[in-house]
Chain A
Amino acid sequence: MNIATVESWIEAPLKRYLDDVHAQLALLLHPSGQVLAQAGFTREVDVMSACALAAAVHATGGELGRQVEGTAFRGLHHAGPSKQLFLAPLTTSRGTFVCLTVFDDSSSLGLVRLYFDELARALASAAPPLPVRSTPGPFIDFEADLNRNLAALFGRDEVV
């Protein structure tokens, strides 16, 4: 399964996890919906939609848990006719992330839970310290590029 990550330290633990649980799709995302890694998706824009929905499920599950039990629900499982998903947060020195795992009958919830804990430990151990942030230096004088791209998107003349 092809894995795309925005940081290299995520790749090895995630690949091992996906192999272990025979996952079909997976996402690692920031709770605000930004994708950090994906496996199994063919279109990048579909990844973004899936991340938005996964972040929403995570947020609502957490909030619902806080309202009915005083603490966020952690680890949500949904079972469909042929596919199941498991959604749970994990914490590293780089912050809290959410992992969505989609699997079928070739795996099981127990297996996914078991290896998810291992993934959480592996990522926590692999996460490098948070770097000192630098501003995107080249991101200056962008107005011309922005105007050209937006004009192309909307099929109209560039705004000057």
Chain B
Amino acid sequence: MSLVNYATREITCKIVYYGPGRSGKTTNLHYIYGQVPDDRKGRMVSLATQTDRTLFFDFLPLDLGTISGFTTKFQLYTVPGQVYYQTTRRLVLQGADGVVFVADSQAHQLGENVESLQDLHANLAEQGVDARSVPLVLQYNKQDLPRDLILSANDLGDTLNFRAVPEFPADALHGPGVFETLRAISELVLTRLSTGAPAMAR
């Protein structure tokens, strides 16, 4: 849920990168972190295992600047993708204003993508949130891998994008698609906020 402070004209929004294990959620945040000037970002916090798998979440605070007269801040989170971290995913998802679903484009990962998307819907429902009301963007990551190993964005869209939300092919390791994804989810979140989404209004 966004925090809107009318006194100081500040808005803070929470965006969660969701998806199966090793799909590239943390890589998205690392790329963003590497691109953004120091004075516009906070410390990136990663609660990871010794092998750098996300254990709880990654967190990156971003200062987007002034939008429509409001100082706008985004808090970017990732969830752990592995199936057995269900509880922590639910905790991180709490209060999300928007979700980026990072799918792994590798053909053999299609089942994991579908399962993770179902898991997202189930976790939102458990929190009393209608998944259809939450701003969602799909990112088809790893499109840089050899063609014979991956599914095209069209094929992935046919399976995953039944809500016809914005979708982007990406190579989060090198950057293509990362910016476009963040821009799209930002726009959806701000649009929803401007049309009366639940928020803590101060």
Contacts and interface: CB of A to CB of B under 8 A. Distances in A.
Contact of B35 (A35, A52, A140, A153): A153
Contacts, number: 142
Given A32-B14, A33-B75, A33-B95, A138 B200 contact: no
B184 to A, nearest CB: 10
A134 interface: yes
B196 to A, nearest CB: 4
A99 B173 CA distance: 37
A70 to B, nearest CB: 15
A155 to B, nearest CB: 7
A152 B45 CA distance: 23
Contacts of B3: 6, 30, 34-35
A49 B59 contact: yes
A62 B43 CA distance: 26
Classify chain B: how many residues form its interface, as a range.
35 or more
Nearest to A134: B201
A141 B68 contact: yes
B67 A6 contact: no
B37 A153 contact: yes
A32 B57 CA distance: 13
A146 B190 contact: yes
A147 to B, nearest CB: 7
Contacts of A78: none
A125 B54 CA distance: 41
A135 B6 CA distance: 11
23 contacts: A6-B8, A30-B3, A32-B1, A32-B14, A32-B94, A34-B3, A34-B12, A34-B95, A45-B42, A45-B43, A49-B45, A56-B47, A135-B193, A136-B193, A138-B68, A139-B11, A139-B193, A145-B65, A145-B67, A146-B67, A148-B65, A149-B66, A149-B72
Contact of A43 (B36, B42, B92): B42
Interface in B167-202: 179-180, 182-183, 186-187, 190, 193-196, 198-202
Max count, chain A CB within 10 A of own CB: residue among B10, B66, B196, B202: B202
A97 B180 CA distance: 35
The 9 closest A-B pairs by CB, nearest first: A32-B95, A45-B42, A149-B65, A48-B61, A145-B67, A59-B91, A139-B194, A34-B3, A52-B59
B91 A150 contact: no
Interface of A: 6-8, 30-35, 43-46, 48-49, 52-53, 56, 59-60, 63, 131, 133-136, 138-143, 145-150, 152-156, 159
Nearest to B178: A154
B55 to A, nearest CB: 11
Interface in B108-154: none
B30 to A, nearest CB: 14
Contact of B190 (A32, A45, A139): A139
B170 to A, nearest CB: 14
Nearest to A64: B87
B179 A150 contact: yes
Given A153-B64, A154-B179, A6 B190 contact: no
